Chains A and B, each alone.
Chain A
Amino acid sequence: MTQTKPNSHEGCIVLPGALRQQPFDSSEEKPQFPGASAEFIDHLEFIQPNVISGIPVYRVMDRAGQIINPSEDPQLSKETVVNFYQKMTLLNTMDRILYESQRQGRISFYMTNYGEEGTHIGSAAALDSKDLVFGQYREAGVLMYRGFPLDLFMAQCYANADDLGKGRQMPVHYGSKDLNFITISSPLATQIPQAAGAAYAAKRENTNRAVICYFGEGAASEGDAHAGFNFSATLECPLIFFCRNNGYAISTPTNEQYRGDGIAARGPGYGMLSIRVDGNDVFAVYNATKEARRRAVAENQPFLIEAMTYRIGHHSTSDDSSAYRSVDEVNYWDKQDHPISRLRHYMTARSWWSEDNERSWRKQSRKTVMEAFEKAEKRHKPHLDLMFTDVYDEMTPNLIRQRESMWRHIQQYKDHYPLDAYAK
């Protein structure tokens, strides 16, 4: 096909970046528009958005933990499945203790992950350890699965001298370079286009590295989400978008967040392969993420996974969800469709986990969490110089002056400042 000037009416043209060559031929009845590949239709018909029976929810286990379709059972080893269970319950224990500690005024703020442990562990287990993770704020289980120590979770929440983040952010804004987990930031959905950029860079590096980007169904309303989806599809990035649709964005229920069929239905609009899964079924999450990861890297295209789940806890320690939802609703999910219980049923059916295991594991996990907690409380806060470093790679003259000014001020008024709490 020869390349001709743009303003001729016949001949072929290679559209820059296009995946197909489209011959412009007026003699054919097919539409010639560059913007869409479609047939003509001669009667007026609006496409009905299908929200009554939306995209189906993929699951492997039923609510009682029984495998429905044996060919979908990932058949993971006992060791792997027990590890899933232990990580989910350890997360749950840590959540309970840290939530309480906020109520007692020991830490300033906390967000629990109750009910969503399955989404974290299932997806984290399906990734390679070197895959880059961009999270929102309710993905602590991913970090825990990868081996982030309890000490460092606590250190960040207490903002003490051990915090990798140097005590600069609110609690639950974790990050770990070693574990390839990008530090959490408070603004929502900002990580979505960033994940697309990181995936593009990973593609160019050609080292079989994928990127996963977590966000909630509320954050998916942000402009940044639209930007991220569109960029990743047009620029062909090896990226998994993982949406935790947990029913609420603080107090806003999903019927006030969107009118379409959730987030999964938006994927095809961007030209993205999409799936909706049962987020409380750790195997469904695992299977979907594993396959998405494999294909994202092999085919250099993004995948959208919408994991349906339920936020059992409050949005955060600053929220009391009884103001906008009933206790019965919460209890249903806590008692009858919980990722931890379902996995437990799966394990007990195979005699992989007994009451004794449960009792001793609960005791042990509570003990390790409490030990880390007590240790973190006693640690110093970070050195005061760290207020001024890392704004730029090197301190500017202004910052150096301001730091000196601060020290002079503190020396003069040392009685007014709790200097003993800070590292020397």
Chain B
Amino acid sequence: MAASARLLFRGAGLKAYTANVNSGAQSSFGTTLLRLSPNCSSQTKTQIKHASHFTYHPDPVPTMYGPTTKMNLFQSVTSALDNTLASDPTAVIFGEDVAFGGVFRCTVGLRDKYGKDRVFNTPLCEQGIVGFGIGAAAAGATAIAEIQFADYIYPAFDQIVNEAAKYRYRSGNLFDCGNLTIRAPWGCVGHGSLYHSQSPEAFFAHCPGIKIVIPRGPVQCKGLLLSCIEDHNPCIFFEPKILYRAAVEQVPTEAYTIPLSQAEVLQEGSDVTLVAWGTQIHVLREVVSMAQEKLGVSCELIDLQTILPWDTETVCKSVAKTGRLLISHEAPVTGGFAAEISSTVQTPVHTLNQTDSNLSTMAKTRELCKDIRDKIVDQHKAGMGYRTIGQQLGEKATTVGAIIRKWKKFKKTVNLPQSGAPCKFSPRGASVIMRKVRGQPRTTRLDLVNDLKRAGTTVSKN
């Protein structure tokens, strides 16, 4: 009987709302049928418990936010909402089924504690939920809207992209809906299939004016959610549903915030940068140790946390150090958020060159960009010594010297081959020339130039 009940339990979908169904009169009839049928064994073929694709790695106990207590992810959400309702009398929470506690129990107890005018069900209509939230926020209330699954957020796409994101800009800052936070369960859960597993962050990342945040565990979740609620811009907060019960940490009971748009380097490394968010962080944690053990590769792991606006500086700085980047996310790869990250990291934005990062389109030897070369020359003209200049700009004194000598000789800071300077032929280039000339004594200079170009060396005709 117990085995069958367990089977029914699993087959009926998410545990949170099957509990009542099985205790009703009907299901006992069903289990009896199964038990008495000669074709059903009491043991199923797949009695293996569904194994998770990752091991949860809890954060260390935070010490700077006061006393902590054990909470899983959905409890950390409840705690954040509890803190908010307690401190902000305008705060209201609404969405489908939030009144009884929510299908994932994120709002359990809040209606009884704070009243039915503050924690209430809405009709089943996502465009209405978000539209209502925008209006309430614009009128001054702290509006926390729940979308039951991120897979169902699309009816609200127009309200989010055309309205919430643009409210402040289009009104010239007369009005805004910064008081709006939208929460939704997100990501794969094992049995969710097409419509209970989606990660839609990439659709919204293309929309300036909103913020998108995804936590990796309870401590991050509560702090980031409170930051979103406090933030004066409309925020979408995606909660990895597979972590609701699986992720357990010591979480501060008081309110605290974790800053948005700051990626966190979880582990330092030197060979490759790994970037992820949400559940996938825990997968990559395992990757980090496997890579070290099996390949001797040292990985730097970054939790992006805020997808929009994302922390380009931390990621680019890390990639400048390691030289390699791997991004991992659940959503489809084409147009997924990894595409945005990798595009930004690889773009030679000249403002990036003005920071400490050394990203450049020149491969092989590390070329200094023209701005730094000009700076070197300017400082030399001002009378600074090579070593001082080098220390100032973070370059070797010998490099500085080479640049200044070149400038003295050619009056230019660009690094193009000059006539009269020895031209370096690669061995391949030299053998191309020899082969050509041996075979065809009447080879012209132009032919040689073109052949060498094909071999990879550019020379002038002279």
Contact = CB atoms under 8 A, between A and B. Distances in A.
Given A224-B127, A392-B309, A200 B209 contact: no
Contacts of B38: none
Interface in A55-69: none
A226 B163 CA distance: 18
B133 to A, nearest CB: 6
Interface in B163-218: 163, 166-176, 178, 208-209, 211
A167 B128 CA distance: 30
Contacts of A198: 135-136, 138-139
B122 interface: yes
Given A163-B172, A175-B171, A193-B159, A223 B132 contact: no
A306 to B, nearest CB: 21
A1 to B, nearest CB: 18
A122 interface: no
B131 A197 contact: yes
Contacts of B378: none
Contacts of B131: 190, 192-194, 196-197, 224, 227-228
B125 interface: yes
Contact of A183 (B116, B174, B349): B174
A193 B24 contact: no
B100 A16 contact: yes
Contacts of A194: 131-132, 134-135, 138, 163
A194 B133 CA distance: 7
Interface in A363-390: 389-390
Interface string A134-149: 1000000000000000
Given A235-B122, A398-B309, A132 B139 contact: yes
A379 to B, nearest CB: 15
B123 interface: yes
A182 B138 contact: yes
Nearest to B89: A204
Contacts of B143: 197, 201
Contact of A175 (B130, B162, B174): B174
Given A164-B172, A223-B155, A201 B90 contact: yes
A391 B163 contact: no
A4 interface: no
A397 B313 contact: yes
B99 interface: yes
Interface string B96-122: 000110000000000000001100111
A195 B168 CA distance: 17
Interface in A226-282: 226-228, 230-231, 234-235
Interface in A193-225: 193-202, 204-205, 211, 223-224
A192 B175 CA distance: 16
A190 B162 contact: yes
Interface string B79-100: 0000000000010100000011
Given A16-B99, A197-B137, 12 more contacts: A7-B24, A16-B100, A185-B162, A192-B131, A193-B159, A198-B136, A198-B139, A230-B128, A231-B128, A235-B122, A393-B168, A396-B309
Interface of A: 6-7, 16-17, 132, 134, 163-169, 173, 175-177, 182-183, 185, 187, 190, 192-202, 204-205, 211, 223-224, 226-228, 230-231, 234-235, 389-393, 396-398, 401, 404-405
Interface of B: 20, 23-25, 90, 92, 99-100, 116-117, 120-123, 125, 127-128, 130-141, 143, 155, 158-159, 162-163, 166-176, 178, 208-209, 211, 232-233, 261, 309, 312-313, 349, 351
